[in-house]
Chain A
Amino acid sequence: MNTPGDSSSGSRPAAAASTVGIDPESQLARIRAGFLRNGIVIALVLEVLFFWSQSEKFMTTSNIRLIFLQVAVVGIMAVPTALLLMSGYIDFAVGSTLGLSAVVLGKQLEAGTHPVTACTLTIIVAAGVGLCQGILATRGRFAPIIVTLGFYTAVRGLTYVVNDGDLASGWTGRFKEIGQGLLPGVGIPNPVIIAGAVFIIGALFHTKTVWGRHMVALGVNAEAARRAGINPWRLPLLLYVASSVGAGIGAIVLVSRLNSAPPTLGEGIEIEVLSAILLGGVAFGGGKGNLLGVAAGVLFIGVLNDGLLLLGAKPFWVRVSAGLALVAAAALDATSRYFERRATGGEE
């Protein structure tokens, strides 16, 4: 007999005529709906077509590889931060965490520490930042946005303190492989491989595991999730740590690519990360969105930066466009909600 779980309830009424469907034929409809909901995918396609038509350098192997390489770090960071947003919290300090992690890493490497030890220490420092932030925002019930703005400033300040006016650089050895190497045989840059792996792991976590489901439940309706017995702070706290660890990994990749660890590293990257996430359809306040959309959001920003430079725009314009992309995310969100309302006939 089918009982949920391990219980014994032999007296449940026998099944009646089939009144509750599972409707397997809707698989296709769901994929189509998912695609439409991810308006960012369409925007990305249009964007690519536009730059392709404007510049013949755009659709070349080397340029495409460059785009992917440029967005890899944003992608790595966007995944755990997106999951954190889905659970209803926010981390605006990822850029600062990246900076602190980078400086710690640089100092270690410069002192001749073994790269594995140095990287481990870097991740621990990053995780520590996430843990502190997370404890205050979840258990401490401080307003998450205020906590994270505080950390945004404080951690960057700490980065300069740790750096102590001396640019760490000049190490040798195989450490540079992480950011500069290619995966043997395929010729794809390592950072892109790392980003791809992070996306796959994140997407599986989100859609296939109980924690992904609980995380969404907390983001959509924290009180209802709590009443179902879901611990309201454990998962978000873990995701704060994950978000910071993502920044730590980003630091390792960037430092390896640049062969140096300036304390300015990662300044402003939080805007790109959050733009990508919001463009991808994840909402502030939690619940909505998926990582496929976030991946498209990351690429959208990468293509925008790359395309504008190809067209000869001054670098300042790239900053303007990054800000406008964030506004575009809001527009996209409003549009998709409009279509959703039309589709369901619901009011709002």
Chain B
Amino acid sequence: MTDPVLEVRRIDKSFGAVEALRQVSLGVHSGEVLGLIGDNGAGKSTLVKCVAGIIKPDAGEILIHGEKVELASPRDAHERGIETVHQDLALIDTLDVTGNIFLNREIRHRPRLAGWMDKRRMHREAKDILEGLHINIPSVRHPIQKLSGGQRQAVAVGRSVAWGRQIVLMDEPAAALGVEQSRLVLELIKTLRDRGLAVMLISHNMQEVLDACSRVVVLRHGAAVADIELADVTTRDLVQLITTGTAA
């Protein structure tokens, strides 16, 4: 098999006395959706933040296409085509939908150094992006704070799908979503997969995991206790892995 798009090797991360990640290793290949599951506090979000350049691991390495990389800031991660849907969404409440989708990627008039935004074009493109993804938002001019929880989540997912080039990390992207919207998010994940991206999906919904992922890594108390193909695995097996760390 070729090199994984994303590989993490023996990552450690502690917060004071809490060992959030212990020697975690995993890899995600092109065109693959890897499920990352585990109980609350298992360390899933911490791992995502390491790969997104938000926090620095204490030890271990991160490789992209087999090349060791230093992700010192979210900017580094963006430049390598890594996009993230954060568990807390990380949207700016008072900015409108367009402003959030284009945050730090604003389209500028020429000369670019003047920093003058082309708001009209951003609104148009944001509208196109969301429509292209079949995401239904009343208006791209709505400030985020006037949207429902599910709509906000849709904006965050849309943003990551629109900009993701190599790797998309989704930390519970469907947590607050209804049936129809959850299905949409799964569709988007599959679109990314078919485009050849490497996707990491965190979810507490085992049905969702079985549906979207071909492989899962199970985290327990900060350690990766299982890395299994999902060929003939049931929801019950997954729950067993999460709670006891061993397969039935």
A-side residues, CB < 8 A to B, are 2, 4-5, 7, 9, 11-16, 18-23, 26, 208-211, 213-214, 216-217, 220-221, 223-230, 287-288, 344
A13 vs B52: C-alpha distance when bound (angstroms): 26
Instruction: Name 18 A/B residue pairs within 8 A (Cβ), A-sorted.
Output: A2-B124, A4-B107, A4-B163, A11-B195, A13-B134, A15-B128, A16-B132, A19-B136, A20-B127, A22-B140, A209-B115, A209-B117, A224-B91, A227-B74, A228-B74, A228-B104, A230-B103, A287-B94
> By the criterion CB–CB under 8 Å, are A223 and B124 in contact?
no
Q: Specify which chain B residues have a CB less than 8 angstroms from the CB of A2 in the assembled complex.
A: 124-125, 128-129
A220 vs B141: C-alpha distance when bound (angstroms): 18
A146 vs B48: C-alpha distance when bound (angstroms): 35
> By the criterion CB–CB under 8 Å, are B117 and A228 in contact?
no
Chain B proximity of A280: nearest CB distance (Å) = 16
> By the criterion CB–CB under 8 Å, are A230 and B104 in contact?
yes
Q: Specify which chain B residues have a CB less than 8 angstroms from the CB of A211 in the assembled complex.
A: 115
> By the criterion CB–CB under 8 Å, are A213 and B99 in contact?
yes
A46 vs B116: C-alpha distance when bound (angstroms): 37
Please give 5 more A-B residue pairs, beta carbons under 8 A apart, in addition to A14-B132, A217-B95, A288-B94: A2-B125, A16-B131, A227-B52, A228-B104, A344-B146
> By the criterion CB–CB under 8 Å, are B78 and A21 in contact?
no
Q: Which of A11, A13, A18, A210 contacts B106 (CB 8 A)?
A: A210
Instruction: Answer whether A13 and B139 are a contact pair too, CB < 8 Å, given A216-B94, A217-B103, A225-B103.
Output: no
Q: Which of B92, B105, B108 contacts A220 (CB 8 A)?
A: B92
For B52, the closest partner residue in chain A by CB is A227
Instruction: Answer whether A213 and B90 are a contact pair too, CB < 8 Å, given A22-B124, A22-B139, A22-B141.
Output: no
Mark B158-180 against chain A: 1 for CB-CB distance below 8 A, else 0.
00001101000000000000000
B-side residues, CB < 8 A to A, are 52, 54, 73-75, 78, 84, 86, 89-95, 99, 101-108, 114-117, 123-141, 146, 162-163, 165, 191, 194-195
> By the criterion CB–CB under 8 Å, are B104 and A216 in contact?
no
For A221, the closest partner residue in chain B by CB is B92
- Most B CB contacts (10 A, CB to CB) among A20, A21, A22, A226 go to A20
> By the criterion CB–CB under 8 Å, are B195 and A9 in contact?
yes
Instruction: Answer whether A20 and B135 are a contact pair too, CB < 8 Å, given A7-B165, A26-B141, A208-B116.
Output: yes
For A346, the closest partner residue in chain B by CB is B145
The binding surface of chain A is classed by DSSP as loop
> By the criterion CB–CB under 8 Å, are B139 and A23 in contact?
yes
Instruction: Answer whether A229 and B78 are a contact pair too, CB < 8 Å, given A16-B131, A19-B131.
Output: yes
> By the criterion CB–CB under 8 Å, are B132 and A15 in contact?
yes
> By the criterion CB–CB under 8 Å, are B141 and A23 in contact?
yes
> By the criterion CB–CB under 8 Å, are A221 and B93 in contact?
yes
> By the criterion CB–CB under 8 Å, are B108 and A221 in contact?
no
A21 vs B142: C-alpha distance when bound (angstroms): 10
Q: Which of A20, A209, A223, A228 contacts B140 (CB 8 A)?
A: A20
Q: Which of B103, B130, B194 contacts A11 (CB 8 A)?
A: B194
Instruction: Answer whether A213 and B132 are a contact pair too, CB < 8 Å, given A9-B195, A229-B75.
Output: no
Chain B proximity of A17: nearest CB distance (Å) = 8
Q: Specify which chain B residues have a CB less than 8 angstroms from the CB of A217 in the assembled complex.
A: 92, 95, 103
For B54, the closest partner residue in chain A by CB is A227
A7 vs B165: C-alpha distance when bound (angstroms): 8
A223 vs B162: C-alpha distance when bound (angstroms): 21
Q: Specify which chain A residues have a CB less than 8 angstroms from the CB of B84 in the assembled complex.
A: 227
> By the criterion CB–CB under 8 Å, are A227 and B94 in contact?
no
Chain B proximity of A11: nearest CB distance (Å) = 5
Q: Specify which chain B residues have a CB less than 8 angstroms from the CB of A225 in the assembled complex.
A: 92, 103-104
For B133, the closest partner residue in chain A by CB is A13
Q: Specify which chain B residues have a CB less than 8 angstroms from the CB of A344 in the assembled complex.
A: 146
> By the criterion CB–CB under 8 Å, are A210 and B115 in contact?
yes
| Ranked 4 nearest A-B pairs via Cβ | A224-B90, A229-B75, A209-B115, A228-B103
For A344, the closest partner residue in chain B by CB is B146
> By the criterion CB–CB under 8 Å, are A21 and B139 in contact?
yes
